[in-house]
Amino acid sequence: MRNRASITPCKQSIGPGCTNRSVGAGHAWCALRAIVALGAAVFCVGCVTPPDISITAVNVVEVGQEASEVSIMMSLENASEVPIKLDMWDYRFAIGGHSYSGQWSAGLTIPPKQTVTTSIPAVLPTAAAVSATSSWRVGGSVTFLAPSRLAEVLFELGLNRPSASFNGAGTTVGSGGPAPSAG
């Protein structure tokens, strides 16, 4: 008489809910589930909760003969458990019938479960006549990536470039704000 334990198939897992006991179509289904799970993991490697972005103020930094520079102040909250590395701001700012569109290197990492402040610049013709009661609006996005080597590679290859949108409007402009610095 044979010992039944010696002929029992191994229960080594090859995918969620699958074992080597699966045969035929069931085995193919388990293999497909494992492949889909692996693919989701690869494509989700950059999945991180986007930062919450709030516009907190617009301040005049400098007024020149030809142009004026304003600083768009923001609060960035990272609610996730991992740091979020910001890459590039792409935005537009409008005030007094004039507008500015630009890109600005973010060069900033938001630590997990923290809020940081930063600013981006806008340069307008002096004719825009920015005053303390000027109505303004801003909108755009920032690209970011998760803190893993695979996420960085996918980002650099252009295969995974998550972004977070932001917008805001106001009717007051401050003065003497700090000049934004590139990261």
Mean pLDDT value of segment 99-116: 94
Burial of 58 (0-12, 13-18, 19+ CB in 10 A): buried
Q: Where are the domains of the chain?
A: 4-43, 52-175
Residue 174 pLDDT exceeds 70: yes
Percentage of residues in the chain with pLDDT exceeding 70? 69
pLDDT band at 125 (very low <50, low <70, confident <90, very high): confident
pTM: 0.70
Cα gap 183→55, rounded to integer Å: 19
Cα gap 147→154, rounded to integer Å: 12
The Cα-based distances of 135 to 110, 129, 152, 161, 172 in angstroms read 30, 11, 39, 33, 7
Q: What is the pLDDT of residues 8-50, one digit of tens each?
A: 444 444 445 555 554 455 555 555 555 544 454 445 545 678 9
pLDDT band at 119 (very low <50, low <70, confident <90, very high): very high
Report, at the CATH architecture level, how domain 52-175 is classified. Sandwich (2.60)
Mean pLDDT value of segment 55-59: 94
Range 154-159 contact pairs with CB under 8 angstroms and sequence separation of 24 or more: 154/45, 154/46, 155/46, 155/87
